[in-house]
Structure 1
Amino acid sequence: MTRSTKARGKVRHGEIRRLWLAERDLFREHLLRLDPLTRQQRFGTAVNDAFLENYAATTFGVGGLVYAYVEDGVVRGAAELRGLDDIIAQTGEAAFSVETEWRRSGIGSELFARLITAARNRGIRTLYMTCLPENAAMRRLAHKFKADLVGGYADIEGVIATGGPTPFTILDEALDNAKGFATLALSLQKAFWPTRLLARAMGA
């Protein structure tokens, strides 16, 4: 899904798509670019680079799924769906991170919508999210998607009833995955094929 979004007075061009295992480094680099406040908002506490390196290394597995806002080949925002390894519980956890200069542009909403679709298609009926009380942007996002918020001293938990899969949600994700995988395949071709051979293969 390619979009033009306007953030802080600038028009930005990028796409929301799934990230694959081969793109784990893009996700890691995104996390490492997060400023201290954004890191604290994402993880609920201060974290260092070593923590983020390890987190990125273990994110792409059986129990996790990542969607991202990708602009010029760089991840600027990410949404994670966790809990797929315990699908019998029909619950999952959602988490989000958007780099400072890319906020207030609708990226978080698009990522959230994509994550809810993925959750529905996998039989996840209840989606949980947690944020710090002072994270007003995340609370607004939760309200937009009709999350029930339960406040606490240290954090706020949001609960979203996702509903079941439909032919439309399944088709939507399938088309999105096909497009995202095609993008990945092309980037791998460019990385490993000699430029002249790639140009000849593409009919240039």
Structure 2
Amino acid sequence: MARSSKAGTTTGHGEVRRLWPAERDLFKAHLLRLDEVTRRERFGTAVNDDFLENYAVTTFGVGGLVYAYIEDGAVRGAAELRGLEDIMAQTGEAAFSVERDWRRRGIGGTLFGRLITAARNRSIRTLYMTCLPENAAMRRLARKFEADLAGGYADVEGVIATGGPTPFTILDEALDTARGFAAMALSFQRRFWRPALFGRSAGA
């Protein structure tokens, strides 16, 4: 069973943490693994691999923040907070994607909790999200976080009042950021570090 969304804790056999620009390839690989139905649920329309590759490039700009569920070195779910380039508006947009075989594990709820904390700490008082009417799982998730839902045939829009930052939310994100950065550094060390060779080689 999935555990809580506190910083550094795990959901299933993986962990939820912030994803950094240097890990863009992990995010891109996640998007490319999404099946046709999940892609349509995430983007509201059919999208191809070229679109997803370009999307991954722009996601980590000034106005974006990504949290991810990572298991065995691969991103299996992601939550994006967009609109940070215009903090004065005090609004942001949330978007989610979880690979089909990793659904129903509480990953979406854990990611949503991290995203709301990040939004509060950046004085984003209103968080918007949209989904297709047939995306029942996303509607349930939105209701869990007390979103007001409205929409019709084309899409459903959810509006969430996040509240302001508190010392607890700031500390929570600070700890999560530190642990996430350490996890990224460790991951890169494992990928690129090679043990030094000591002593002389045979025949030297």
Question: What TM-score do the two structures reach when normalised by structure 2?
Answer: 0.91
Distance in 1, matches of 2:80 and 2:196, equals 38
- List structure 1 runs of 4+ shifted beyond 6 angstroms: none
Question: 2:68 corresponds to which residue?
Answer: 68
1:166-177 counterparts in 2 under 5 A? 166-177=166-177
3-state DSSP of counterpart to 2:54: helix
If you compute each CA radius of gyration, which structure gives the higher value, 1 or 2?
2
Question: 1:24 corresponds to which residue?
Answer: 24
Q: Which amino acid aligns with 1:2?
A: T
| 1:194 is the counterpart of 2:194 | yes
Question: 1:101 corresponds to which residue?
Answer: 101
| 1:2 is the counterpart of 2:38 | no
Question: What TM-score do the two structures reach when normalised by structure 1?
Answer: 0.91
RMSD (Å), alpha carbons? 1.0
Deviation at 1:46? 0.2
Question: 1:41 corresponds to which residue?
Answer: 41
Distance in 2, matches of 1:94 and 1:58, equals 15
Q: Which amino acid aligns with 2:66?
A: V
Give the number of the structure with larger relative contact order, counting CA–CA contacts within 8 Å between residues 6 or more apart. 2
| 1:90 is the counterpart of 2:90 | yes
Question: 1:163 corresponds to which residue?
Answer: 163
Distance in 2, matches of 1:122 and 1:114, equals 13
Distance in 2, matches of 1:35 and 1:127, equals 27
Structure 1: which 5+ residue stretches go unaligned? 6-12, 198-204
Question: 2:154 corresponds to which residue?
Answer: 154
Structure 2: which 5+ residue stretches go unaligned? 1-7, 198-204
- The count of corresponding residues between Structure 1 and Structure 2 is 190
Q: Which amino acid aligns with 1:3?
A: T
Distance in 2, matches of 1:186 and 1:166, equals 30
Instruction: Check 1:143–1:4 CA distance in 2 against 1; reply closer, same or farther (3 A cut).
Output: closer
3-state DSSP of counterpart to 1:111: helix
Question: 2:5 corresponds to which residue?
Answer: none
1:132-151 counterparts in 2 under 5 A? 132-151=132-151
3-state DSSP of counterpart to 1:78: strand
| 1:77 is the counterpart of 2:77 | yes
